[in-house]
Structure 1
Amino acid sequence: MAAAPRSFSSSAFTSSLTTGTGGYSIRKVKLPLPCKSGDRASESERAEKRLPNPFWRYKADRECPQYFTSAFGTKIMGMHHNDSGIVLMIDVRTRSVVLGPRTNYPAFPIYFPVGVDKLFALDSACLELCRLPLVRPDSDSDSGSSSTDETESDSDSESDSYGKWLWRQLQVPPFCTRDVASYAVHSDGQSQSILVSVKGEETVATFTFDMGKFVWECLGEWTLPFTGPGHFDRKLKALVGLSKDPEAFGYLYACNVPSAGDRPCPAPAWKCSKEKVFSELPADRHVSANLIYMENRRKYCLVECVWVEEDNACQVKIKEDKADQVLLEKSEADQRGRHMYRLMTFSLKYDKKDDLRVKCGRVRYYEVPNTVSAESIREDPVAFWL
């Protein structure tokens, strides 16, 4: 049975899995607390648990996890195609649903949530911005005052934008979005920018989009060292992301923020972690992974899907009241292992030698329901911390 991947989030984590009838199940998963000592926890300390019951069920086309994103504080959005053209935004804190507009026929979107009021969507030959609906000012408010939000709203094509969800078309990106290799959002309190590295047949470069000026610039003919999304760590003053290159597979890169001076700027310095964050157990085979940054705690969580080889071929059935939580018994010939979600929480620090070290790791495993298809499992887990 075809099934779509999962998505995690929240004060715990939220996981999204398809049910037998199609669609996704959103779940909150409690994270393993980092150990208090300065050392990494041993993989032998791992604890195995069942996934919790669904927090919410979301009906949409399966095999399309790329249309999920977090945005506007504690909301999860599904941008899947539908006849109504309306997006359901699920607030995981209030357990409520808000309706909003979806982007114009998303194809291969990359989403950039910024703060609690902005969502940028980078897609095929376009960049769009969605903002929280504007609140109409009181009549007795100071009409002479202005803000960044008011200035931006005045330039929108629709003047009557109060109380409406609107997408705004921005400058077309100067690269093919299918060639995007890595990306991140950087905010230093004074300015905000989106960084995108591309690796194509004709272009190998890194570009920046200034969120204040709404313009793209080429930083130089180099790329960020990590693969996929990166996270700005204020304590390290660096962009942190996973390495999926063969020579450093499963390690972390911490890359200095590119210079804001003259263009083009030189490639920023970076460091590779001394420790590997992917599982190193002989029985675990890596399948996919996603790195989540818990900014308010200055911690990280790696969500890794692994194939665990089993010594005992026959697996015990786990009975739950939900259809997608049943792992069926299989014959010895068919069952040689199982897929597991491996959650590892940890912190990153520079040591006295200025080496990048993984500290206070704690690992927990969750069983992957058998309704999740092989195609879905091979995709990186969609995960959020809200």
Structure 2
Amino acid sequence: MSKRQHSHLDGDRTGKRPRRAPKKHLYLVLDDWDTGFSIYKVDADTLQDTCTDVQLGFLDPPVLRFPVRRHDMGFTAFGNSIFIATNPRCPQTPTLIYDTETAGITIGPSLPRSLLGGIDISVALGGMLYALRSCHVGEQHSFEAMSWAATGNDELWYPRPDMDWSWKSVPSPPPFAADDIISSYALHPDGHTIFMSAHDRYYQHVPKGTFSFDTKRSEWRWHGEWALPFQGQGYYDSELDAWIGLCNDGYICACEVASRSSESDLQPYWKIVKEKMFLKVPERRLAATSATLAYMGNSNFCLVDCVQREGVESVFDCCVLHMSTFGLKYDRRGELQTTRHCSNSCVVSKHILSFSPLVFWM
């Protein structure tokens, strides 16, 4: 893809000079050093112009590093910021908020009890970040929303900021059973309805059903005993008029957008790309990790996956990171296919086996 296609201009037809919007980048999160995590800033144009095979590294030095020991960290995106749970299993530790526009870091609120262990599902909309855990064994699921809100500061002798980040439980609790696992989710193109599919924790091949949550009305709706065909988050693409997500067998999926108002026993119609995009060599898969997809707009995507290096037994210093960018379109027969596919690979270290590389577009 040419660099011209990536330019972002904001103007009108009044003859005024258009104002250039800030250029977006890919932000890659890796557990690639023995004392913590790194965040890398990647130029998508450069990535697409330099397709490579496995090499020592195509990444620039990280823009940020977090020194932690013996525990995981959680990362999720909200607008132009990355929220970092420094220790998702400890209720006393605060979150960090990394602003990608200013490269500044501020301190946010600690995770509420229902999110301890980490945020598995997060959707940013309407100035709020909606989040929950995908599985709460033996406990009722709780839907939480974080926003920038007034603190209600009226203490003269204990000054606090008038505005701050805070968590608040959504009044309508999710209708999932205590042992249900939320396996997939997507934001409806109306911009305020979130679809979620659940499976039974003990029989994960059997879907429990799909619900939607209307954030304006704060109410849930049942849609049928079926599940969205992708795993994790799906992204709506207006050019394809479909949700795009990852299937757990290595393929990209385009799923028909479900109706907000209807209930049906039929799963929405969906298609997959014929070529495998990840897990091309299943034997090299890292069992506790998964691939990550980021939506870059205009039917363009970035896929990140980490596998064990061929011929090497230890994964800590010998993993291969695959970072691919591609477009999607329907061909003349209506089949889903990739365009402008470019892949970069490099050897990376890995120190937390349960952590999957993450990628954000902002």
Q: When the two structures are superposed, what TM-score results if normalisation uses the length of structure 2?
A: 0.75
Q: How does 1:235-254 map to 2 (within 5 A)?
A: 235-244=239-248, 249-254=249-254
Whether 1:350 and 2:330 are equivalent positions in the alignment is yes
1:368, CA displacement in angstroms?
1.2
Question: Mind listing any 5+ residue stretches in structure 2 that lack a counterpart?
Answer: 1-23, 153-159
Give the aligned residue type for 1:241.
Answer: G
Tell me if 1:373 matches 2:351.
Answer: yes
CA contact (8 A) 1:180 1:196 kept: no
1:92 partnered with 2:96 = no
Q: Residues 234, 223 of structure 1: CA spacing in aligned structure 2 closer, same or farther, 3 A cutoff?
A: same
- For 1:352 and 1:33, the matched residues in 2 are separated by 31
Which entry has the higher C-alpha Rg, 1 or 2?
Answer: 1
Percent of aligned positions with the same letter in both sequences? 25
State the TM-score, normalizing by the size of structure 1: 0.71
- Retained in 2: the 8 A contact 1:111–1:119? no
1:79 & 1:224 partners in 2: Cα distance? 31
**Partner deviation per Cα, 1:163-186 (whole Å, 9 max, x = no partner):** 132211112111147633532332
Mean Cα deviation higher: 251-260 or 289-298: 289-298
Closer/same/farther in 2, CA of residues 257 and 353 from structure 1, 3 Å limit: same
Give yes or no for the alignment of 1:76 onto 2:83: yes
Corresponding residue for 2:128?
Answer: 118
- Listed one character per residue, the Cα deviations across residues 133-164 of structure 1 (whole Å, up to 9, x for unaligned) are 3599xxxxxxxxxxxxxxxxxxxxxxx99513
Q: Unmatched 5+ residue regions in structure 1?
A: 1-9, 137-159, 314-332
Aligned partners of 2:352 and 2:68: how far apart in 1?
A: 19
| Residues 224, 266 of structure 2: 8 Å contact kept | yes
CA shift at 1:258, angstroms? 0.8
CA separation of 1:236 and 1:33: change in aligned 2, threshold 3 A:
farther
User: Equivalent residues in 2 for 1:38-187 (5 A)?
Assistant: 46=53, 48-50=55-57, 51-60=59-68, 62-65=70-73, 67-78=74-85, 80-81=87-88, 84-105=92-113, 106-115=116-125, 117-123=127-133, 124=136, 125-133=141-149, 163-170=163-170, 171-176=172-177, 179-187=180-188
Q: C-alpha distance in 2, partners of 1:177/1:27?
A: 37
CA distance in 1, matches of 2:174, 2:45: 40
Q: Look up the SS of the partner of 2:98 in the other structure.
A: strand
CA offset at residue 129 of structure 1?
0.6
Residue among 27, 48, 65 paired with 2:40: 27
Q: Is the 8 A contact 1:48 1:364 kept in 2?
A: no
Distance 1:107 1:62 in 2: 14
Q: CA deviation at 1:305?
A: 0.9
Aligned equivalents of 1:49, 1:298: Cα separation in 2: 30
Alignment length (residue pairs):
314
Higher RCO (C-alpha 8 Å, min separation 6): 1
- Rounded to whole Å, the distance in 2 between the matches of 1:360 and 1:256 is 23
Q: Check whether the contact 1:233–1:295 (CA below 8 A) recurs between aligned residues.
A: no
Q: Distance in 2 between matches of 1:108 and 1:114?
A: 16
Kindly indicate whether the alpha-carbon contact (under 8 Å) linking 2:255 and 2:269 is maintained by their aligned counterparts in 1: yes
How many Å apart are 1:360 and its aligned residue? 1.4
